[in-house]
Amino acid sequence: MKIFPAIDIKDKKCVRLLKGNFDNQTTYERSPFDQALKYKDAGLLNLHMVDLDGALTGELVNLKIIDNIIKKLNISIEIGGGIRSIDKIQAYIDIGIDKVILGSAAIKDPDFLKQACETFKGKIALGLDAKKGMLAVSGWKEIINKRAEDYLNNVNGYGFSRVIYTDIDRDGTKTEPNIDETIRISEISSAPVVVSGGISSIKDIKKIKTLNNFKIEGVIVGKAIYDGDINLNDLQELENA
């Protein structure tokens, strides 16, 4: 199982949002590069990154920061946040991004998801962000009248290589992940699924690691690391166990 420590970037700083709310933001002193270096030094070589500025603007605001991390640290990164065109996907592929996460743009325009998967085989991850099972778009500000399971059934053959399922109500809360809902997604998905939202302790991750009968590829861990609830060495040992 892969463990993806999270780095969300806004105004060139590491931040964490509570339930995706930009008005409820915690900013941390360590820079995105230094945070990534800390993860690498602990032996955690798969990162989940979100350009929150990009999510708000639709531009690759923090491309240079991410490029610097890849060049100097040589780690694997999946990146999301405001990626709404083939050109922007290409820009990330060009700097060595492992997976480009398509969320709102893919949900609003499934044909865009299909084109991206065909153009960048093996490089596209589908981000499904849901509140009470209903999909959210536009930086989680808009809940649309479509269930995550229904959307996934419609696009399942498009060729994405990973699904990241986030329960918005748990994101940044450290109140345990929504494992039951994630399992339902994994039973539908043609691609392996990553658990996101609500990780509170190493116990949560150990529980996810036992789900051998489901296509659970990994777990994203954010606020619990920043707040010191989870030790990076324990994460690394669990990933390699």
Which positions are annotated as active-site residues? 8, 129
- Cβ contact 124:116 at 8 Å: yes
Q: How far is CA 202 from the centre of its chain?
A: 19
Residue 233, amino acid: N
**Is beta strand 193-196 parallel, antiparallel or unpaired with respect to 162-167?**
parallel
Terminal Cα-to-Cα distance of the chain (whole angstroms): 9
Residues forming beta bridges with residue 4, ordered by sequence position: 220
Structure tokens at 207: 């529980």
Coil/strand/helix, residue 55: helix
Q: 10 Å Cβ neighbour count for 26? A: 13
Which of 196, 206, 208 has its CA nearest to residue 168?
A: 196
Q: How many CA atoms lie within 13 A of 48 on its CB side?
A: 24
- Six-digit token pair at 140? 């989680």
